[in-house]
Structure 1
Amino acid sequence: MSKLNIFFIILIVVAYAVWKLLDYWALPNTFTILLILLTALCGALWCYYRFAVFPKRKRQIARLEQRSGKTLSDEEKAKIEPISESGEFLSSLFPVLAFILILRSFIFEPFQIPSGSMEPTLRVGDFLLVEKYAYGIKDPVFQNTIIETGKPQRGDIIVFKAPLEPNVDYIKRVVGLPGDKIQYNEANRHITITYAKDGRECTENCLTKEFDYGTPQEDLEFNIIVGQDRNGMPVYSSDHPLKLVEKGDVEHQIHWDPQPPNATYMYNNYRLQDNYVTEWVVPEGEYFVMGDNRNHSADSRFWGFVPEKNIVGKASYIWLSLDKKQNEFPTGIRFNRMFSKIQ
């Protein structure tokens, strides 16, 4: 085994160990931190060779050729100021890593749908492109906004750091903006919004809108998850969810169960209007999000609001869709979903 192969194996082991250490600390942006460290290491070697070693080698080759009066062969040149294979390999990675880091940190980041909380809009096995620049250019580690480019709008599907688990990415649809008053009727599962004024809760001359809903129809493509087995695999019932169109600030499809469950007792930060209607007022700088699979989504109803700083970007396109179920291996490719825009 060559020295380069041994070095490459050691590098992978060290990188994996650092990755697991960062995961153990539950830090957000673990992969980004690791990518930055590796890019910095390769960049330092690239600069050292390009601006120190290579010019020195070039001068020595020119000096030897002038003394000997002949042109040195490639083998003879290679013996002058020789570079280790491992160092040359790492320095050659720098342009590629720098491109990936810039692309992933500021332009697009890939994201995979891990669960059915956004069905039927997004399915398990969908691979997405997330626009990192949609809501501002942010530093890749601490997520502080450097350049403002826009704000999330009602109906946008966003990827964000889970408020209770900042090392985990969630994906949901924006329902309420700062200052909005969201009412959710547990009996008929309808949403009503009283729109904010200048980012604050409206108290007079308010605009209130109740979303419109189409006729629910059984969606035979899906089965309702009723629990997990001993191995953590989802258990499906023979029942199918109902699919219907929700018309609010945007028009899109949603799922809900045939029978409305009463989950009010698990809600967070809400006001109880009556036995069925719960209400939230979105704080300044935060957002209220929900999954399109209304009865199978852990969202703002349960754990609260999403701070603007936690937002990673806007989900824009499906670039690959594997035909699979949650925690199972794929059985094919859904070609009809590939390269489609997310609504």
Structure 2
Amino acid sequence: MEFDFSAILLGLTVLFGVVWGLDRLFLYKQRKARLDAAGTEYSDPVPVDWARSLFPVVLVVLLLRTFVAEPFRIPSGSMMPTLDVGDFILVNKFAYGLRLPAFNNKVVDLGEPQRGDVVVFRFPGFLCDDGTGKLIRSGDPGCSDPHAKVPSQNWIKRVVGLPGDSIEVHGADLLINGKPVQAEEIGPYTGNPQRAEDRLMLDMGATVWKEHLGKVNHMIARMPAYNIPNPIPNAKVPSKVPEGCYVVMGDNRNNSEDSRWWGCMPEKNLAGKAFLIWMSWKGWGTGGVDFSRIGTVIH
């Protein structure tokens, strides 16, 4: 089951605020007068006391997560080698504007994503029948029930194409507005073969490259022996990026379900810009805490 933590925080804030507020408006004075008359020391009922104590705490957490920074954990290897499975990152929530919690409607416009930004967004795809009766996420709008509500899930990718850009992808070759994106090979990928994500990349002969995406220089991984992604343009992604949309791709170019599969990422789905790794946990017996990654600025 997937939980929208922002929605939970919003619900708790409203609940605690209503309980505390209604008590103060309609019950507090009578209760206090009754206890004073009886010579009893005043105390709030337990539910009211909890609401009064927790309301400001939950409200502050909600405001910080909604408008300042929100923590996320990287669950997959689609952004390797930039972001590893088990990295805990912070996301700037005001980089692209202020949005209402849970509803994600933008209320203050503060900017737009730039080429090379690593962005967190709500997955914009659909729920589809995989042929066995199981509902799976898909980028295919022609699936059995393209209007089924998709539970909120945050994804992370790198912005490659901006609205109005002409994008072409053919295997490892990326062209933006007719110009090839330059990349130099650094060498073979190295990792811990005890970890499933590393073992896959080692078995598939992954190589690491430095890509120059506009003003951003960052690392990507290539392993064509594993998978050849869809080219762009295709049925879901036109050669020219539509207004209000962005083409996003994972840095693990041959192992990332991204715009090449499900289309452009709508601006309305943006959650924020990833900027810092504050913790990295490789797992028991496979590295533990990776102190070398803590404090890494995300480029």
Q: 3-state SS of the aligned residue for 1:309?
A: helix
- C-alpha distance 330-311 of structure 1, shift in aligned 2 (>3 A): farther
Q: Report matched runs for 1:1-343 at 5 Å.
A: 30-59=4-33, 64=37, 76-78=40-42, 83-165=44-126, 166=150, 167-186=152-171, 189-194=172-177, 208-221=178-191, 238-249=203-214, 250-257=216-223, 259=225, 261-264=227-230, 268-269=234-235, 280-324=239-283, 331-343=287-299
- C-alpha distance 142-330 of structure 1, shift in aligned 2 (>3 A): farther
**Cα offset, 1:192, TM superposition:** 1.0
- C-alpha distance 237-339 of structure 1, shift in aligned 2 (>3 A): closer
d(CA) in 1 for partners of 2:181 and 2:193?
A: 26
Paired residues of 1:135 and 1:148 also in contact (CA < 8 A): yes
d(CA) in 1 for partners of 2:182 and 2:201?
A: 30
d(CA) in 2 for partners of 1:253 and 1:245?
A: 5
- C-alpha distance 246-87 of structure 1, shift in aligned 2 (>3 A): same
- C-alpha distance 151-182 of structure 1, shift in aligned 2 (>3 A): same
Q: 3-state SS of the aligned residue for 2:56?
A: helix
Higher helix share: 1
The TM-score with structure 2 as length reference comes to 0.80
- C-alpha distance 138-330 of structure 1, shift in aligned 2 (>3 A): farther
d(CA) in 2 for partners of 1:266 and 1:174?
A: 15
- C-alpha distance 117-262 of structure 1, shift in aligned 2 (>3 A): closer
Runs (5+) with no aligned partner, structure 2? 127-149
d(CA) in 1 for partners of 2:254 and 2:195?
A: 10
**Cα offset, 1:46, TM superposition:** 1.9
- C-alpha distance 185-315 of structure 1, shift in aligned 2 (>3 A): same
Amino acid of the structure 2 residue aligned with 1:89: W
Give the aligned length: 273
Q: Which moved more, 1:97-106 or 1:304-313?
A: 97-106
What's the Cα RMSD here?
3.0
d(CA) in 1 for partners of 2:74 and 2:164?
A: 30
Residue by residue over 1:149-169, the C-alpha shift from the partner in whole angstroms, topping out at 9 and shown as x without a partner, is: 000000000011111154221
Runs (5+) with no aligned partner, structure 1? 1-19, 24-28, 66-71, 195-207, 228-233, 272-278
